[in-house]
């Protein structure tokens, strides 16, 4: 009997050692495939984050194994417009606290400068500006910064020779001279592939910039477009070939500075399998809304730490649970309607509430074929009832993040859900031949639409809840006039 227990004990010990070894090997494999530099670039236009928001974000980054934070708010005057001027003493003290907090959370604090609006490249003025640039960097070095970025994005001057001369000079006189300084980041003036290449290959600016830039400088680009659905493997391979180095990705999601009325609350998506291998860094540009940005940023942390096993939906649901706990289910209902960002030049994020949209499309298909729509209306009514209840719970007891940064969008979605429910009553009355009742609901829909705020001020569920209201009004107006629906 004693021998049997000995065998059992030894067997269990071996099992634990083997499984422990397997777990360690799995962790090592995940760490090996992680994108080396992963994190956030505070690089949006608009009101920069507060000191408190930045401190919270650095702590958030530490918890999610995000290791790089680039300080580059476009509307910090000392970063861009007044780049030559030293920071006032009070702001230097704030920066020092940020640097120390970053270090405590194993985050590299990268200081960015955007001098391209008025930088002089030659002559006495050029040398004076070089001294100002180095002086600014040295002041931050003395605070503890050990990595820097010099950006030439969103400027008129596309002198690749002059720009690379400045970067290489900074590399020689500062990065390589100062103890412990890590490689310099830059963003060229052509920073997305559609602007960097044509059918013949790299354009003149990009070709010159790539050929003349020191090989150890980290080059950032935003993918095929400034704001785009994802990065195809072929795209990043082409840019890597041009620059002869792994690329650093400046990812413009969840940033909303080009559409400030909407929130970007979906997960990071669109990275083709294998693209991560070609990335030296993956840095997400967030919204002005630091707290609500954390939803997408948490999924980006999962992607950058284990690209090959990343599951956007699972990561998003995990982030919702971690950040909203007992209110996660209701926040999911809300956030589903605020994932997709699109205008005439930008497109990113998953579709808003795709299942609800599919149910709406099924209803319209039945309407157009003059079929009985009761089944489709019943499904959609259940969807809207569930959504309305979840939004009401959020309205009654809003999470901190939503209360601070998303209440206008919550109120708008509630208005749209009410209007969409009235659309169903309109369709029911019309199908029953109750013209007077249907006309009444039509008039109510017009009033509800007129009461909506301008999309320039607040926006949500553009192509789902909002579109359904517009579609219903258009359908009824054409039906009344006996015209085909457009």
By DSSP bridging, strand 108-113 and strand 68-71 are parallel
- Adjacent-strand bridge partners of 249: 221, 282
> Which CA distances in Å does 97 have to 104, 144, 193?
10, 10, 37
List all residues 6 or more positions away from 163 whose beta carbon is below 8 Å from its beta carbon.
116, 121, 152, 157, 188, 189, 209
- Adjacent-strand bridge partners of 198: 201
Please report, for the chain, how many H helices and E strands are present, in that order.
17, 12
In 369-406, which ranges are continuous DSSP H helix?
A: 374-396, 400-405
Count Cβ atoms within 10 A of the Cβ of residue 230 and give its class: 0-12 exposed, 13-18 middle, 19 or more buried.
middle
Q: How many CB atoms lie within 10 A of CB 56?
A: 16
> Of 154, 159, 214, 439, which is the active-site residue?
154
Closest CA to 161 of 198, 232, 211, 94: 211
Q: Which residues of 435-474 are buried (b: 16+ CB within 10 A; e: fewer)?
A: eeebeebbebbeebbeeeeeeeebbbbbebbbbbbebbbe
Token readout for 26 is 């799995």
Count Cβ atoms within 10 A of the Cβ of residue 134 and give its class: 0-12 exposed, 13-18 middle, 19 or more buried.
middle
Query: Is 420 tagged catalytic?
Result: no
Asked if 150 and 186 count as a contact pair (C-beta separation under 8 A), the reply is yes
What is the secondary structure of 227-294 as a DSSP string? S-S-B-HHHHHHHHHHHTS-EEEEE--S--TTSTTS---S----B-TTGGGGEEEEEE---S-HHHHH
Token readout for 299 is 């999924």
Asked if 155 and 200 count as a contact pair (C-beta separation under 8 A), the reply is no
Closest CA to 415 of 397, 395, 398: 395
C-alpha 448: how far from chain center: 32
**What is d(CA 43, CA 450) in angstroms, rounded to the nearest whole number?**
36
220 phi and psi angles, rounded to 5 deg:
-100, 145
- Residues involved in catalysis: 154
């Amino acid at each position: 009997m004693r021998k049997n227990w000995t065998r059992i004990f030894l067997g269990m010990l071996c099992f634990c050692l083997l499984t422990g070894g397997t777990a360690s090997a799995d962790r090592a494999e995940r760490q090996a495939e992680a994108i080396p530099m992963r994190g956030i670039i505070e690089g949006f236009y608009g009101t920069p984050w507060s000191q408190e928001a930045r401190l919270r974000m650095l702590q958030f980054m530490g918890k999610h194994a995000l290791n790089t934070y680039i300080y580059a708010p476009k509307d910090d005057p000392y970063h861009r417009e007044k780049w030559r001027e030293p920071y006032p003493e009070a702001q230097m003290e704030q920066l020092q606290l940020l640097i120390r907090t970053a270090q405590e959370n194993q985050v590299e604090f990268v200081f960015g400068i955007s001098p391209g609006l008025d930088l002089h490249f030659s002559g006495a003025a050029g040398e004076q500006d070089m001294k100002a640039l180095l002086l600014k960097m040295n002041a931050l070095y003395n605070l503890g910064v050990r990595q820097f970025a010099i950006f030439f994005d969103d400027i008129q001057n596309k002198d690749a020779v002059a720009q690379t001369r400045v970067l290489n000079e900074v590399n020689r006189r500062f990065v390589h001279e100062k103890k412990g300084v890590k490689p310099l980041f830059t963003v060229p003036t052509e920073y997305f592939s559609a602007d960097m290449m044509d059918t013949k290959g790299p354009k003149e600016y990009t070709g010159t910039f790539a050929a003349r830039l020191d090989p150890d400088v980290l080059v950032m680009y935003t993918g095929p477009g400034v704001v785009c659905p994802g990065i195809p493997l072929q795209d990043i391979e082409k840019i890597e070939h041009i620059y002869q180095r792994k690329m650093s990705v400046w990812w413009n999601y969840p940033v909303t500075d080009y559409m400030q009325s909407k929130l970007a609350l979906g997960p990071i998506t669109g990275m083709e399998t294998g693209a991560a291998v070609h990335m030296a860094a993956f840095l997400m540009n967030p919204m002005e809304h630091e707290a609500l940005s954390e939803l997408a940023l948490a999924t980006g942390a999962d992607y950058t730490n284990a690209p090959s096993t990343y599951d956007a939906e699972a990561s998003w649901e995990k982030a919702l649970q971690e950040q909203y706990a007992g209110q996660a289910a209701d926040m999911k209902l809300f956030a589903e309607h605020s994932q997709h960002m699109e205008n005439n030049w930008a497109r990113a994020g998953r579709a808003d509430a795709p299942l609800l949209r599919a149910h709406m499309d099924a209803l319209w298909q039945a309407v157009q074929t003059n079929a009985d729509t009761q089944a489709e209306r019943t499904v959609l009514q259940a969807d809207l009832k569930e959504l309305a209840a979840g939004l009401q719970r959020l309205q009654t007891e809003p999470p901190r993040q939503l209360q601070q940064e998303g209440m206008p969008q919550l109120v708008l979605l509630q208005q749209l859900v009410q209007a969409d429910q009235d659309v169903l009553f309109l369709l029911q009355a019309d199908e029953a031949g109750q013209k007077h009742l249907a006309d009444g609901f039509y008039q109510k829909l017009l009033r509800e639409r007129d009461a909506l705020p301008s999309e320039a001020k607040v926006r949500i569920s553009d192509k789902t809840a909002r579109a359904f209201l517009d579609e219903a009004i258009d359908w009824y107006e054409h039906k009344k006039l006996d015209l085909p629906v457009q």
